[in-house]
Amino acid sequence: MTEMNLGNRTVGSIDSRLKRLEGHDTRCPECSLTPSEHGRPVAVYPSEAEPDKGFKGDTSERCGRCGRFLYTVIRVVRDPPTLHEGEGSAVAR
């Protein structure tokens, strides 16, 4: 990287200055996420179907310092079981 000395001030290259301004590769000291990273992935199941499975915390929780979401939510949705011919009521297809 090229630097120029202008009197008492050192001016870095435009690229390095832009990266600092945009926050590239700077980790938050509280949550350890960079601006380009997503929060930790967590699975959430419909509560009535499988209440004992999945993440139990607050999925909308944010870092107190940088405001990023701490979790990336994956909602697990399962199709209801289909009835085969001869097993109860008919299923339209």
- Whether 86 is in a domain gets the answer no
pLDDT tens for each residue of 6-64:
544 445 577 776 666 665 568 899 999 988 889 999 998 876 666 678 888 899 999 99
Q: Where are the extended beta strands (E) located within the chain?
A: 4-6, 9-11, 40-44, 71-75
Domain presence at residue 15? yes
Q: What is the three-class DSSP state of 37?
A: coil
* Residue 69 domain-assigned (yes or no): yes
65 vs 67: CA distance, rounded Å: 6
Residue 87 domain-assigned (yes or no): no
Q: Tell me whether residue 27 is in a domain.
A: yes
In a domain? residue 26: yes
Residue 1 in domain: no
pTM of the full structure: 0.54
**90 Cβ contact list (under 8 Å, min separation 6):** 83
In a domain? residue 5: no
How many structural domains compose the chain?
1
Residue range of the domain that includes 18: 10-79
